[in-house]
Each structure stands twice: as structure tokens, then as C-alpha cells.
């Protein structure tokens, strides 16, 4: 069993408990009270690098990262630094996140929010919107084609954008065939947790220029953002570096608005 398989198995167990407590019809009923989703695409597609700043307490690869007793304070610091969107991890077992974090940030920050989780069922997509998310993450490696398309279409029907995450050439082809507008290239292999900083540069040329490329993992500072931008990224998703930084506002600001030398190649 890979690391990804193990994470998804735990996600399904936790999901079963939530679904038992709040069945899908009741969850859907809550959507009528939720404000329309915000569209992150204009900011993510704008000239210069955009930052999706993440509220992230821990990870399977690095363990404990930060306590984050007040996710609202961290999200507000990101917003002050010019983040284009905020990612809130809601997976509990490996990342220490929760839907409560998502709800708290939604109530306090008016930026688009990404629910960062291992989404494998319709229930989770509806759940994301019901708790105020504007984007959902779909990891191609965790889904077959039929499920990937169904969840993608459902998210779009609910007004959300979808960040479709890929790790290799075959997954990139599947994302393009899906019609993904936001394609996230993750330098971390979720089956082994190894990071390969060259993955983004290898996969970026496979993505049509009318799609928005997001670089995920391997962002340790401004130099990494500059490299990703030079290779075609319009946005970077950053978690560990920001939660460990003593001044997340300044860190986000420094990573934002960067352009490739001579102009962006995409």
C-alpha cells in the first residue's frame, strides 16, 4: 500500500462518520444558506506570480510544522501580504486540519478559499461548498477517470473552481482531457513522499497555454518561485515555508508579482 492509499483509506473512514451524522440530502439543504463561490481565476491568471497560501499544521513527510492555534490570524496575515487565495487543509489524521478551520477562515477572510483534502466522493465536494470553499482539490492519482470527471463536473455545477493535481505525464494527459482550467503540478510524489524539483519543468510544456499552471511543493523561498515562474507557473501553492516563517505577511508579499526574465514564457 502506498502512502496515498493509506491516507485515502483513513479519509474514507472519517468521511463515513461525518456522512452518518449528516446525510447528503441534509448537507445539500445547507447550500441555500451559503454565499456564491468567489472566483479565484482572475487573480491566479493575472500577470506576475500569485500565491495560494496554506494553513497547514503538519504533514506526513515532515511531521509537526506549526501549532496554528488561530487559523484566522494566519489567514489574515496571508491576506495582508497579498495572497490570491488561501488553502485550508481539512484532512485530520495526517495533516491536523478540520472543517472547523475552513469555517473559521471563511467567516473572517474575503479571499477565495481552497479546501485542501483528499476528495474521493460527491459528499466531500458538496461538503466543501457547504462550508464555504470556493475551490476543491482533485488529485488525479487518487481517482479513476469516471470519478474524476464526475467530481469535477459536480464542483463546477456548484460554482466552484477545481485545482486538478498531477505528478507525471500520464496524469497530466488525463487532466488536459478532463478540460481542467487550473492544473497543479505537485513536485512531491504522494505514493513515496519524495520531492523532485524537476517535475514541474518537465510537465509544464504538456499543458496548453490557456490553462493556469500552479506549482505545488518544493517552494522554500523567492528563488524557487522565480524558477517555477520561469518554467511557466502562474501561481504557487505554499504551506510549510509560510507556516514556519516568522513573518508570513512579508513572505507572501515577497513571493507575489514575480515575472520571468524577459517576460513570462507562457
Query: For position 139, which CATH number holds?
Result: 3.20.20.70
Of the listed 49, 87, 91, 116, which one is catalytic?
116
Q: For residue 216, indicate whether it is catalytic.
A: yes
Q: Identify the pLDDT of residue 185.
A: 97
Task: Render each residue's pLDDT in the chain as its tens digit; 266 residues.
Answer: 898 999 999 999 999 999 999 999 999 999 999 999 999 999 999 999 999 999 988 877 777 777 888 999 999 999 999 999 999 999 998 898 999 999 999 999 999 999 999 999 999 999 999 999 999 999 999 999 999 999 999 999 999 999 999 999 999 999 999 999 999 999 988 878 888 989 999 999 999 999 999 999 889 999 999 999 999 999 999 988 998 888 999 999 999 999 987 554 55
| DSSP assignments along 174-186, one per residue | HHHHHT-SEEEEE
Its domain, for residue 220, covers: 3-255
CA distance 88 to 99: 9
| CA-based radius of gyration for the chain | 17
**Is 75 within the bounds of a domain?**
yes
- Among residues 50, 56, 91, 256, which one is catalytic? 56
Active site residue 54: yes
Residue 31 lies in a domain: yes
Find the catalytic residue in 50, 87, 189, 217.
Answer: 217
189 is catalytic: no
The predicted pLDDT at position 262 comes to 56
Q: Is 171 a catalytic residue?
A: no
Q: Is residue 78 part of a domain?
A: yes
Domain total in the chain: 1
pLDDT at 126: 98
The whole-number pLDDT of residue 189 equals 83
pLDDT at residue 194 in the model: 85
Catalytic residue chosen out of the listed positions 50, 87, 186, 189:
186
Assigned domain for 154 exists = yes
Domain assignment present for 193: yes
Catalytic residue among 91, 127, 216, 231: 216
In a domain, 124, yes or no: yes
Query: Is 96 within a domain?
Result: yes
pLDDT of residue 30: 95
Are the C-beta atoms of 242 and 80 separated by less than 8 Å? no
Q: What is the pLDDT of residue 264?
A: 45
What pLDDT was estimated at residue 67?
A: 81
pLDDT of 68 = 83
256 is catalytic: no
115 lies in a domain? yes
Amino acid at each position: 500500500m502506498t502512502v496515498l492509499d493509506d491516507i485515502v483509506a483513513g479519509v474514507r473512514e472519517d468521511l463515513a462518520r461525518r456522512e452518518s451524522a449528516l446525510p447528503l440530502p441534509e448537507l445539500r439543504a445547507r447550500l441555500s444558506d451559503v454565499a456564491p463561490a468567489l472566483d479565484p481565476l482572475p487573480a491566479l491568471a493575472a500577470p506576475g506570480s500569485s500565491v495560494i497560501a496554506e494553513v497547514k499544521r503538519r504533514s506526513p513527510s515532515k511531521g509537526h510544522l506549526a501549532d496554528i492555534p488561530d487559523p484566522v490570524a494566519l489567514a489574515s496575515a496571508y491576506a495582508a501580504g497579498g495572497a490570491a487565495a488561501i488553502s485550508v487543509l481539512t484532512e485530520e489524521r495526517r495533516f491536523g486540519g478540520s472543517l472547523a478551520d475552513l469555517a473559521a477562515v471563511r467567516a473572517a477572510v474575503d479571499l477565495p478559499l481552497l479546501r485542501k483534502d483528499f476528495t474521493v466522493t460527491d459528499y466531500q465536494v458538496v461538503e466543501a461548498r457547504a462550508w464555504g470553499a470556493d475551490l476543491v482539490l482533485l488529485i488525479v492519482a487518487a481517482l479513476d477517470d469516471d470519478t474524476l470527471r464526475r467530481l469535477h463536473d459536480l464542483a463546477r455545477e456548484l460554482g466552484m473552481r477545481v485545482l486538478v493535481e498531477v505528478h507525471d505525464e500520464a496524469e497530466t494527459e488525463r487532466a488536459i482531457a478532463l478540460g481542467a482550467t487550473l492544473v497543479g503540478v505537485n513536485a512531491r510524489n504522494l505514493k513515496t513522499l519524495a520531492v523532485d524539483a524537476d517535475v514541474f519543468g518537465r510537465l509544464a510544456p504538456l499543458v496548453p497555454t490557456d490553462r493556469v499552471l500552479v506549482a505545488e511543493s518544493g517552494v522554500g523561498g523567492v528563488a524557487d518561485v522565480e524558477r517555477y515562474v520561469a518554467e511557466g507557473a502562474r501561481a504557487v501553492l505554499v504551506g510549510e515555508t509560510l507556516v514556519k516563517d516568522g513573518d508570513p505577511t512579508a513572505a507572501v508579499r515577497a513571493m507575489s508579482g514575480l515575472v520571468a526574465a524577459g517576460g513570462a514564457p507562457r
